[in-house]
Amino acid sequence: MGTGYQSFSISTYGANPDYVTVVVTLYAVASLNPRVTGVRLYKREADPSTGLPITLYRLQQEFNVASSTAYGSTSWVTSGPDKTVTYLDYNNADSPSSYEDNAGIAESLISNDVYYTLNTDLNGFHFVAGCLKTGLPDASMMMFRSKQYRYDMFNWTNDYLKLPSVPTALKAFAGKIWAFDENHLYRINPDGMYIEDSTEGIGCLSQRSVIVTDYGMFWCDDKNAYWHDGEKIVPIGDAIKTNYGATAQWTGFACNYTRGSQFLTTCVVFHAPKNYVMFIVPDHTSAISNVWAFHVQKKRWDKWTSFTQCGQTTSGFGAFSGKGGEVYISTGIPAGGSGLLVEAFGGATWRSFYWTSKIFDFEQPARLKRIKTINTDNTATTSAPAFTYSFDRSGSFASFSAITQCRLMQVKITEATGYGNIIYSFEILFRRLSEL
């Protein structure tokens, strides 16, 4: 056994031998996959005149790869990088255990390998999609389920589901398998391997654009961001959508992205210590990536522009969670340089930021008010954060210096680099003017 080698050799003695000698050799043992713990030897009988099988393959012996003893008291013989053991078959009564009983796959199935691009697991089963399989021209639209606790063994002739389209993402959540394409979401029963429900108009960019957390499943397509809380799907990206030309797009979430690609897409990761779902959006035509962070408990969006060098390569960009729930981001490899692996929130210094409130209408948007004063509660180490204000959708922000009359009001807080102030609250004192 080993790449480029014959698995074993069989020697017989005389015309009517009392036994058959089977020599099993493991070539280059050190290079074997550590997941290989044993080798099983099966045998079946055939009609001497036709060569056709007349019995099923039955288990003869199992050889322990990891131990120095192959089976019983018979030890491996080491020769250089190889190990060899000799097994004598005296043609005793066959074992009742057949190959199909042990593997759960018919012995007539020549191969059970499936090449895939998407995968997830649930209840000890491995589900794969976006597949490539010899003899199956439409395998890219099929989802296969492995044998339980045997993630690399697929009875692909029986345990499969043909999807309506080529999927872009696959995820296990709330006891179901969820398959996405660019514009559809399918809820799949993992036991019966059938589609229970489908949702049109909601898709997913790629496999790395969906994450499952204790709060639910979060993902995005090129139209919006979504949150499935276990009961319903809630679009959460409306607050950060804007208009580009004639079509409404989600700000920054589809920057120079080719639909249907698994690359150059938004990475969705969960920062457990701070309860942030981070949507990291690389713009591959510039040197900046936008980071939209959704705070699950506060249901608030924060926007960061903090990871550079992402726009100068077609590979290398990615993000993942560490063992403590922290998030690491690979910035990609710029032309003529090297990439970085940085920890989100891992810096030792404070950065500048600004925050813009919603538009306050004080429950009466058409009525004129008089703003008397504005009080703030914040820490100030060296320099206090700057509070500026905009009135009646003017779009320009300025400091508050006198009593002002308005119908609508908006607040902007700006913090300079390095000060690390904390803003606890602010209050607006106003009086509604008499209606005309």
- Can you give 317-371 as a three-state secondary structure string? EEEEECCCCCEEEEECCCCCCCCCEEECCCCCCCCCEEEECCCECCCCCCCCEEE
Report the predicted TM-score, pTM, of the whole model to 2 decimal places: 0.71
Query: What's the structural domain count of the chain?
Result: 3
Mean pLDDT across 8-22: 61
- Percent pLDDT > 70 in the chain is 81
Q: Which two tokens stand for residue 64?
A: 């322990």
pLDDT for position 285: 60
117 contacts 185 by C-beta, under 8 angstroms: no
- Residue 226: other Cβ atoms inside 10 A: 22
End-to-end CA distance of the chain: 94
User: Would the pLDDT of 337 be above 60?
Assistant: no
Kindly report which listed range (108-122, 223-237, 414-428) carries the lowest average pLDDT score.
414-428
Query: With contact defined as beta carbons under 8 Å apart, do 221 and 268 qualify?
Result: no
Query: Taking the CA of residue 46 as centre, how many other CA atoms within 13 Å lie in the half-sphere pointing to its CB?
Result: 7
The confidence band for 307, taking pLDDT boundaries of 50, 70 and 90, is: low
Q: Which domain covers residue 68, as residue numbers?
A: 8-103
User: What's the pLDDT at 135?
Assistant: 76
Residue 9 has pLDDT above 60, yes or no: no
Residue 34 inside a domain? The answer is yes
Residue 399: DSSP 8-state: -
Strands 216-220 and 210-213: antiparallel
Q: What is the pLDDT of residues 343-382, one digit of tens each?
A: 877 776 777 778 888 899 998 998 999 998 888 887 766 6
Query: Does residue 1 fall inside a structural domain?
Result: no
In this prediction, residues 292-296 reach a mean pLDDT of: 92
Higher pLDDT, 336 or 128: 128
pLDDT of 314: 45
Same domain for 20 and 85, yes or no, is yes
**Is 327 in the same domain as 369?**
no
271 and 134 in a common domain = yes
At residue 1, the pLDDT reads: 45
Same domain, 274 and 402: no
* Predicted confidence (pLDDT) at residue 294 exceeds the cutoff of 70: yes
Where does the pLDDT of residue 120 fall: very low under 50, low under 70, confident under 90, or very high at 90 and above? very high
Same domain, 74 and 139: no
CATH value at residue 287? 2.130.10.10
